Amino acid sequence: MGKYGWLDSHAHLSDDTLFDRIDEVLTNCDINHVDRILTICLTFEELGKAFMLQEKDARIDIAMGLFPTDTHLHTEENFKKLEEVAKDPRIVAIGEMGLDYYWEKDPIKKEAQKEVFKRQIEIAKKVNKPVLVHSRDAAKDTYDLLKEMNHYGVMHCYSYSVEYAREIIKLGYTISLAGPVTFKNAKEPKAVAKDVPLDKLLIETDSPYLTPEPHRGEKNEPAYVKHVGEYICELRDMNQEELQQAIHENYNQLFLK
Ligand SMILES: [Zn+2]
């Protein structure tokens, strides 16, 4: 064993699926050498649960943001609350936030998503914390908006092309790969995994969603991030310790500086 284990840069520990069996979930992290987990909160209720978890387990870091399709949460009151909690030192990133056109085809509502996205980047800029970007079927608008807003952060569960990754890295973003990189037919994430510079790479589970092979079909959990990591080691033909060290350095520089 090297100095570092694995880390999961994006999990939803406050989600009932994981929260209801959290002791087992965290024990599985021990067993599988997962020594850092960034948990993403999408409501203030989830945030309260995450603060509780962090008290019990120092491996847990916290991010908070408003998800693009949770339109009922895009209230003035919530933006105000987010602006307040963004200052809290326990929160290391703002998000996830972004654009999701897979579920949204209405151009007016797409515009509304962009506004919500921009407002949250503004909040992140004020406190100088990175943003966690969710982007689905919205490559061009995401790129244009990130360029315009001129900030930095992570593109989580990256699903676009190698060329796009290169451009988004130039804007100041790190690429985080999730379970799909292990899927047999997922050619693009595999190509991206090989192409991304080592200092711009993170790994994640997005649990309880997107379970990697060989557990596909089951509920996902942070311990399974090792399968994502091991798969990327094979693709890049590098040893585990080297990848573990790189993702920890990238993570520390972004979130724990
Ligand atoms: Zn997520």
Distance 91 CA to ligand 1 centre (A): 16
Q: What are phi and psi of 201, to 5 degrees?
A: -120, 135
How buried is 128 (Cβ within 10 angstroms: 0-12 exposed, 13-18 middle, 19+ buried)?
Answer: exposed
Distance 92 CA to ligand 1 centre (A): 15
Gap from CA of 131 to ligand 1 centroid (Å): 13
**Distance from residue 157's CA to the centre of ligand 1 (Å):** 8
- 70 alpha carbon to ligand 1 midpoint, in Å? 13
Ligand 1 centroid distance, CA of 167 (Å)? 22
pLDDT in the model for residue 3: 86
pLDDT in single tens digits along all 257 residues of the chain: 678 999 999 999 999 999 999 999 999 999 999 999 999 999 999 999 999 999 999 999 999 999 999 999 999 999 999 999 999 999 999 999 999 999 888 999 999 999 999 999 999 999 999 999 999 999 999 999 999 999 999 999 999 999 999 999 999 999 999 999 999 999 999 999 999 999 999 999 999 988 999 999 889 999 999 999 999 999 999 999 999 999 999 999 999 98
CA of 10 to the centre of ligand 1 (A): 6
Q: What sign results for the dihedral spanned by CA atoms 29, 3, 89, 127?
A: negative
Q: Please tell me the predicted confidence (pLDDT) of residue 37.
A: 98
| Cβ atoms 153, 176 nearer than 8 A | no
Ligand 1 centre to CA of 240 (Å) is 25
Q: For the CA atoms of 188, 190, 194, 195, what is the dihedral angle to 10 degrees?
A: 10
pLDDT at 1: 60
Instruction: Find the 40 Cα to ligand 1 centroid distance in Å.
Output: 7
Q: What domains are there in the chain, each with its CATH number?
A: 6-255 (3.20.20.140)
Beta bridge partners of 38: 61
CA atoms of 212 and 169, how far apart (whole Å): 25
The rounded Å distance from CA 9 to ligand 1 centre is 10
Q: How far is the CA of 205 from the centre of ligand 1 (A)?
A: 9
Taking the centre of ligand 1 as the mean of its atom positions, its distance from the CA of residue 80, in whole angstroms, is 22
